[in-house]
Amino acid sequence: MLPIVTEEQSSLIFAEIFQDVHSWRKKMIHYIKDENPEINSAIIEAANNTDLDPKAVALGAYMTYVLLETAAKEQDNMSFEIDDEG
């Protein structure tokens, strides 16, 4: 099951992304290439095989990846805190 992305998480991430979209996207290319090469390959494949703007497709995919990653980390931290209390 995918983690739930909160409004607060998305607001923080969007604020970071939209300060400089082009730099953020380039940073994410390298981050995901190291973090999860299979996902990076899938994103590039999708971006290159549509009639849509490849940079926009990649941006959306990277944004989704970071949103889910952030929500999962926070969810794991919450689970850890609950386990520590119990």
Q: CA separation (Å) from 34 to 17, 28, 50, 69?
A: 19, 10, 25, 15
| Angle made by CA atoms 71, 72, 78, in degrees to the nearest 5 | 90
**Taking the domains of the chain in order of start, what are their residue ranges?**
10-76
The pTM for the full model equals 0.83
Q: CA separation (Å) from 58 to 33, 39, 66?
A: 13, 11, 12
Among 64, 76, 68, 70, residue whose Cα is nearest residue 2: 68
pLDDT digits (tens, 9 = 90+) for 44-83: 999 999 999 999 999 999 999 999 999 999 988 876 555 5
pLDDT digits (tens, 9 = 90+) for 4-27: 999 999 999 999 999 999 999 999
Residue 42: pLDDT band (50, 70, 90) is very high
